[in-house]
Amino acid sequence: MHEELENFEESIEPQPQCNPISTKWVFKNKQGEDGVVVRNKARLVAQGFCQKKGIDYEETFDHVARLEDIRILLALAASKRFNLYQMDVKSAFLNEYIEEEVCVRQPPGFEHPKFPNRVYKLQKVLYGLKQAPRVWYERLRTFLEPRIPNGEQGNDLLVVQTYVDDIIFCGFSHTLLRKFSKQMNRHFDMNLMGELLSSRCHNVPFVHQSKYMWDLLRKFDMEDASPHTTPMGTFIMLDKNGDGEEVYQKAYHNMIRLLMYLTATRPDIQFVVSQRACHCTAVKWIPRYVKFTPKYGLWYSADSTLSHLVYFDADFGGQLDFKSTSGTCQFLGTSLVSWSSRNVAQSNCEAEYVAAAGCCSQILWLLATLNDYGLTYDRIPFLCDSTSAINIAKNPTHHSRTKHINVRFHFLRDNYAKCLIDLVRVDTQSQIADILTKPLDLQNYNHLQGKWLERGVDKALIKGEIEGLKWTESRLSSWL
């Protein structure tokens, strides 16, 4: 607490008259991967919910890296054998001055003995203030832009991704990486957490959340529950049970929230978690399945090329709520970088077409991101098992079968005409996106899961847990 106050007291000065905002202490025991407490952390936080827009703050939006960005960088670093490092900023929100006049009360338990009712006027940002992330981002952007204007310096590539105060960066040149690290340390108080990937030992990342999964089972008191072999049963009746026990909503919503966090590295449960509003029975099935598959994760191979491949599928009139569900997944070589599962459309053909349009929108964003890395692609293969949807996309004229399809989905056809994408027929038995659209029986689930393994997903599971190839969960957690 005293260490935290050293940063806090440097950022404030006495101010006798102001509309003060209360503060509170937040305590946390930070644990390592083995569950042992490595640090007792205290943080002083302003109660920002008392702030009023236009008086205490203006803009609050902060740019952060998307999870797809991080997966793309992992695939790129593994394939190109980049040196990948991570650092974080100590007391990041205390690094920049704020424009608004904000006063806070003295920290609880640390009131001045002679002036216990005095408040303080903040000169710099404090954790908990609504504008804190925005102010920090502007400071970091102002520092980075002159130093990496286009992501390149000479023939060397330097890639920097930020998520609030966590930063990862990579490139070929050790000299450039050391120079960047020294510049960051001169301007900010940094913790350099070392190499995540090293080209010298050819490490590649295997991203998983097994520790989080076991914590989740303990939280739900399901450590001794019998495991299930699939994420959702095909025989479960999800009708409302009026004679059953009432569900405690807070606990149910908390279970959904924790499972949504797990989908960051588990595409195999994306569909059932996206159907979270359906039934408590289905939700309780998921922890039983992740207990059966505790080591599942994402494998990014160093031997993979960076070719782009897309699968998309849709299930018309779903088994749960009679709504069509689309499933999409995008690969860079054998590395899975993006996936989704959501409700769409009114007919089978339309469901496939709308799924393709949504997938195309995501691909355009991915192409723009990859272009920053110097990678360009033509005619990205879109693998679809619906001949009718392919024909609609390739047909330049509207006809009676497509009148009900919203015009906003027809940009798929435009991008096909521009040769940005190529729609390719794939056999239904090989459509791996089907696993994201409906509950499957064990035989079909294992068959499609085998197709995922062929693409490189969870390939490390075949060999068991591989030492030295894990993106450690303590480093991953801040990004998720």
- The edge-to-edge listing of strands for the beta sheet with 103-104 is 12-15, 119-122, 103-104, 20-21
Distance (Å, rounded) from C-alpha 255 to C-alpha 127? 27
Q: Give the whole-angstrom CA distance, residue 315 versus residue 175.
A: 52
Final residue before a domain boundary, out of 197, 224, 254 = 197
pTM attached to this predicted model:
0.79
Confidence band of 316 (pLDDT split at 50, 70, 90): low
Give the Cα separation of 441 and 73 in Å (integer): 35
Nearest to 460 by CA among 273, 229, 205, 108: 205
Mean pLDDT of 444-461: 64
The answer on 328 and 179 residing in a single domain is no
pLDDT in tens, 47-64: 988 888 887 888 888 788
Reported confidence tier of residue 480, pLDDT bands at 50, 70, 90? very low
∠ CA 319-325-459 to the nearest 5 degrees?
A: 100
* Per-residue tokens: 426: 């794939």
Residues 214 and 360 in one domain: no
Residue 235 lies in a domain: yes
Q: Does 345 score more than 60 pLDDT?
A: no
Res 371: pLDDT: 87
Tell me what the mean pLDDT of segment 163-189 comes to: 86
Cα–Cα distance for residue pair 418/391, rounded to 1 Å: 16
Residue 349 lies in a domain: yes
Do 397 and 255 fall within a single domain?
no
Q: How many domains does the chain have?
A: 3
Alpha-carbon distances of 226 from 150, 291, 340, 361, 374, rounded to whole Å: 53, 8, 28, 41, 49
Per-residue pLDDT band at 303 (split at 50, 70, 90): confident
Percent of the chain with pLDDT over 70: 78
175 and 211: one domain? no
Q: What is the pLDDT of residues 65-115, one digit of tens each?
A: 888 999 999 888 888 888 788 888 887 777 778 888 888 888 888 887 877
Pairing of strands 83-89, 166-171: antiparallel
In a domain, 465, yes or no: no
Lowest mean pLDDT among 178-192, 235-249, 320-334, 338-352: 235-249
**pLDDT the model gives residue 2:** 81
**According to the model, what pLDDT value does residue 191 have?**
81
Max CA separation in the chain (angstroms): 82
Assess if residue 53 is contained within a domain.
yes
In a domain, 165, yes or no: yes
Average pLDDT over residues 155-163: 82
Residue where one domain finishes, among candidates 197, 225, 249: 197
Q: Which residue, among 302, 120, 296, 124, has the nearest Cα to 209 in the 3D structure?
A: 296
Position 471 pLDDT exceeds 60? no
- pLDDT at 477 > cutoff 50: no
Looking at 139, 167, 197, the residue that finishes a domain is 197
Based on the fold, state whether residues 186 and 253 are members of the same structural domain. Answer: no
Q: Can you read off the two tokens belonging to residue 121? A: 């006027």
Buried b (16+ CB within 10 A) or exposed e, 245-255: eeeeeeeeeeb
Q: Are residues 97 and 46 in the same domain?
A: yes
Domain-embedded: residue 272: yes
217 and 103 housed in the same domain:
no
Domain with 396 in it: 305-455
Give the residue among 341, 299, 255, 284 at the shortest CA–CA distance from 453.
Answer: 299
Is the per-residue pLDDT at 473 higher than 60? no
Question: At 165, is the pLDDT very low, low, confident or very high (cuts 50, 70, 90)?
Answer: confident
Q: What is the reported pLDDT for 426? A: 86
Same domain, 223 and 372: no
Spatial neighbors of 111 by CB under 8 A, at least 6 apart, are none
**Pair (48, 172) in one structural domain:** yes
Amino acid at 388: S
pLDDT tens column, 256-279: 888 999 999 999 888 888 775 456
382 and 266, same structural domain?
no
Query: Is 148 domain-assigned?
Result: yes
Q: In whole angstroms, what separates CA 401 from the centre of its chain? A: 38
Q: What's the mean per-residue pLDDT of the chain? A: 78
H or E element, residue 208: strand 206-208
Give yes or no: residues 26 and 174 share one domain. yes
Same structural domain for residues 188 and 59?
Answer: yes
The CATH number for 347's domain is 3.30.420.10
Q: 224-233: per-residue pLDDT in tens?
A: 888 888 887 7
Strand 206-208, strand 297-299: pairing: antiparallel
Residue 330 tokens, joined: 């995008």
Instruction: Quick: pLDDT tens for 407-431.
Output: 556 778 788 888 888 888 888 888 8
| Model confidence band, residue 347 (pLDDT cutoffs 50, 70, 90) | low
The 3-state DSSP class for residue 394 equals helix
In a domain, 281, yes or no: yes
Q: Between residues 239 and 215, which one has the greater pLDDT?
A: 215
